[in-house]
Amino acid sequence: MSRKLRAVVVLTLIGLISAGCGANASGGTGTTSTGATDRDQGVKFAQCMRENGIPDFPDPDASGDFDYGISVSEKVWTTAVDACKDLKPPGTFSTNRNAEQQAAALKFAQCIRANGVTDFPDPVNGEPIINTNKIPSTDRAGGMTILNAAIEKCRTDSPAGTGKKP
């Protein structure tokens, strides 16, 4: 898998993990300053993303989380996110984590290592949890397959104990 495609995969994984570790403690059903729910804001954000080059970007689920895979280039993704930044629900695609979220990210990293990706680094707060440029094993044949399997296992196990996918 090319570095460019892997960067897109990383963005996908960041979105999946960040959705479960969002800043809104109410699980995505809180009220924003305008009175709309975070889910309503998420629907507007998703519509904006679709209008800005990502036609398969889904609406958030009932909890306000996004569960998707990115099918566009990094440039298209970045352009769309920038165009829609004012509509992003709290915590969406954030790399800044509070103490509880950072602890969950560290547990997630431990789980990934325990499931076959021994070179998976501990995440640094303010940086993405998953960055394939820092995981040399993803360059080897089958490396991304092993990483993806570990991610799915660790998402299912919910290392943070929150009952949500990280």
pLDDT tens column, 74-125: 788 889 989 998 998 876 666 678 888 889 889 999 999 999 999 999 988 8
Give the percent of the chain with pLDDT over 90.
Answer: 23
Nearest one of 107, 144, 117 to 20, comparing CA atoms: 107
SS3 158: coil
- Given a contact cutoff of 8 angstroms between Cβ atoms, the answer to whether 57 and 92 are in contact is no
For 153-163, b/e burial (b = at least 16 CB within 10 A) is: ebbebbbbeee
Mention every residue, 6+ apart, whose C-beta is less than 8 A from residue 133. 3, 6, 7
Confidence at 69, pLDDT banded by 50, 70, 90: low
Strand partners, 31: 37
- pLDDT given for residue 111 in this prediction: 95
- Given a contact cutoff of 8 angstroms between Cβ atoms, the answer to whether 71 and 56 are in contact is yes
Q: Say what the alpha-carbon torsion angle 139, 116, 11, 109 is, to the nearest 10 degrees.
A: -130
Token pair for 40: 């309503």
Rg of the chain, C-alpha, whole Å: 16
Mention every residue, 6+ apart, whose C-beta is less than 8 A from residue 98. 23
